[in-house]
Amino acid sequence: MNQTQLFDPASHSYTYILFDEATREALILDPVAEQLQRDLDTVARLNLKLKWAVETHAHADHITSAAKLAEMTGARLAAPAGCGVATAAVQLGDGDVLSFGRESLRVLHTPGHTAGSVCFYWERKSVEEEEIPTELTALPLGHEMRPDLRQDERHVFTGDTLLIGGCGRTDFQSGSAEQLYDSITQVLFALPNDTIVWPGHDYNERTQSTIGLEKATNPRIAGKSRAEFVALMAQLDLPKPQRIDEAVPANQRSGLGAPAPAGAQDDSPTPADGYAGDISPQAAYRWMTGGQAVLVDVRTDAEREWVGFVPGARVAAWKQWPGMALNPDFDAQLREAAAEGQPVMLLCRSGVRSVPAAQRATELGLTAYNILGGFEGAPDANAQRNHQNGWRHAGLPWRQN
């Protein structure tokens, strides 16, 4: 595995790009919104295919670029199951494995900084000289592309659980000093001493450490009992991160903008011909989450699969790919989606297909609304979608498989 460590000076955050040298498949860990272009440039310069955009937790001090990276590169989103990141297609639990090319990272659930926080562990067992692939033996040792396969190698990406000479704070976001002590001493310090520690932050320009060094010298935890550690964490009295109020909700949407707060907008539908009315995506989101109406995605199966979908939406395709013929099962699927007689809000690509679908729903006796702008919005002057209206433009939750 090859890893690149990148730094965001404003938040003192580290982002990691890890990749398999043979296949060029890559994973980005804890990307930062302000560094999106740098990260895209790095991926392009190294000729990588970004497979995963991954978080160690929902950050409090900066906003992730994960959703934008997913949209621009096709990477899948993964985040810890306990962090409330509804937009991540893969919800990670202890022992899960994320693979890219021939490489894989193992998830270590390490609650404490936040309840859902995880670390990621990577290791390679040594092989005999004669087992080393010939394309590597042709390169001299010390060549940047030649890992020393004769030695075991281990790395742990610790997020904010363990920092160099420090650890994540535990005074907000479901933090717990007791849990952090157990995570560090029982999970991380159980790793071999030569495991290289790659932290999520450093406020003093240090880049890496080892488990052995942290065990022996970390002033917050080395030689301390659980009670001493808990007492020390209670006395830290750190100022609240400046961006916490905007960062946590945005990170729980993988960096997409937060929707307008409830009540900030008029949810009244605009009257329409042949159905109950047109509503904004924001109103549809509020009605869906408030249980007032059922959101039904009327796009094709292919669009939901390849472009993205709204978590919690029901499904009744109006037309199907290929050929875009009317779906003969539409009526039955819609009736099933609204089995309890609730109003339905229909979502298509840009708010066009959902109009005849809403008219048909009305004929079936349902109260039906059309969601303006659909999932991707209307194309702009350059034929680009997602730039002027629609569900994704509004920053509402969606994800890819």
Ligand X SMILES: N[C@@H](CCC(=O)N[C@@H](CS)C(=O)NCC(=O)O)C(=O)O
Footprint of ligand X (CB under 6 A): 11, 60-61, 160, 166, 168-169, 201, 238, 241-243
* Residue 172 or 321 having the CB closest to ligand X: 172
| Closer by beta carbon to ligand X, 219 or else 311 | 219
Nearest CB to ligand X, comparing residues 61 and 278: 61
99, two tokens: 């693979």
CB of 261 to ligand X, least distance (A): 23
CB of 110 to ligand X, least distance (A): 13
Q: How far is the CB of 163 from ligand X (least distance, A)?
A: 6
Q: Which is nearer to ligand X, 155 or 201 (CB)?
A: 201
**8 A C-beta contact, residue 76 and residue 70:** yes
Q: For the CA atoms of 326, 327, 331, 333, what is the dihedral angle to 10 degrees?
A: -150
Q: Give whichever of 6 and 136 is closer to ligand X, judged by the CB atom.
A: 6
State how far the alpha carbon of 298 is from the alpha carbons of 64, 121, 351, in Å: 30, 41, 10
CB of 256 to ligand X, least distance (A): 20
Task: Find, among 260, 174, 161, 156, the residue nearest to 211 by Cα.
Answer: 156
CA 307 to chain centre: 16
Instruction: Report how far residue 360's alpha carbon sits from residue 344's, in angstroms, rounded to the nearest whole number.
Output: 12
Nearer to ligand X, 241 or 257 (CB): 241
Q: How far is the CB of 115 from ligand X (least distance, A)?
A: 14
Q: How far is the CB of 241 from ligand X (least distance, A)?
A: 4
- Rounded distance, CA 334 to CA 318, Å? 10
Distance of CA 242 to the CA centre of its chain: 22
Q: Could you give the angle at the alpha carbon of 115 between the alpha carbons of 111 and 119, nearest 5°?
A: 40
Distance CA 84, CA 68 (A): 18
